[in-house]
């Protein structure tokens, strides 16, 4: 026999169907749970517990810019790195994308050469002027 119950968990109401089992020794336990559920009033949705503010994205360590370094044009979060160490780039090639306030900004190479170092990772928070990668 199936019985239908309404329960509330963390402020969300759920309708639950409980099947009564026979022949496996669990009848008493099922009956006990069903009786307990049937006698409990459905709680009004509770206010969600206060949550801590979300942690900011991992911030990459700031490194002073040197000749050949490509830097973030604005503060934001690294959305993508478009090159790998050892890649040959030309002036104007897109090397990274920074996201700030739901807007994506392409970062273009200002130097031609070979990428020798990538100083940040995708999802790192960066400040304006922070080194993203080095080209020599």
Query: Is residue 45 one of the residues assigned to a domain?
Result: no
Does residue 104 sit in helix, strand or coil? strand
* pLDDT for position 3: 79
Residues in the chain: 136
How many domains does the chain divide into? 2
Kindly list the distances between the CA atom of residue 69 and the CA atoms of 1, 61, 112, 117, 131, in Å, as whole numbers in the listed order.
72, 15, 11, 9, 6
CATH number where 92 lies: 2.40.50.100
This model's pTM is above 0.75: no
Ordered DSSP codes for 29-93:
HHHHHHHHHHHSPPPPPPPPPP-PPPPPPPBPPP----TTEEE-SSSEEEEEE---TT-EE-TT-
Q: Residue 100 falls within a domain, yes or no?
A: yes
8 A C-beta contact, residue 72 and residue 126: yes
Q: Judge whether 46 lies within some domain.
A: no
Tell me: the pLDDT tens digits for 82-132?
999 999 999 999 999 999 999 999 999 998 999 999 999 999 999 999 999
pLDDT band at 8 (very low <50, low <70, confident <90, very high): confident
In terms of domains, do 27 and 82 share one?
no
Give residues with Cβ within 8 angstroms of 111, minimum separation 6. Answer: 68, 70, 89, 91, 135
Using CA of residue 90, residue 92, residue 94, residue 99, what is the dihedral sign?
positive
Nearest to 33 by CA among 17, 9, 10, 45: 17
pLDDT for res 55:
60
Structural domain contains residue 26:
yes
Q: Which domain holds residue 9?
A: 2-39
Q: Which of 15-29, 71-85, 111-125 has the lowest mean pLDDT?
A: 15-29
For residue 11, pLDDT beyond 70 = yes
């Amino acid at each position: 026999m199936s019985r239908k119950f309404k329960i509330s968990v963390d402020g969300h109401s759920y309708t639950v169907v409980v099947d009564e089992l026979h022949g496996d020794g669990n009848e008493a336990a099922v009956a006990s749970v069903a009786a307990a559920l049937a006698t409990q009033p459905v709680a009004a949705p509770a206010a969600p517990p206060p949550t801590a503010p979300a942690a900011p994205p991992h911030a990459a360590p700031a490194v002073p810019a040197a000749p050949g370094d490509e830097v973030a044009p604005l503060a934001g979060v690294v959305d993508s790195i478009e090159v790998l160490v050892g890649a040959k780039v030309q002036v104007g090639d897109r090397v990274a994308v920074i996201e700030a306030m739901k807007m994506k900004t392409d970062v273009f190479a200002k130097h031609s050469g070979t990428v020798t170092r990538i100083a940040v990772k995708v999802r790192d928070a960066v400040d304006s002027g922070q080194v993203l990668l080095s080209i020599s």
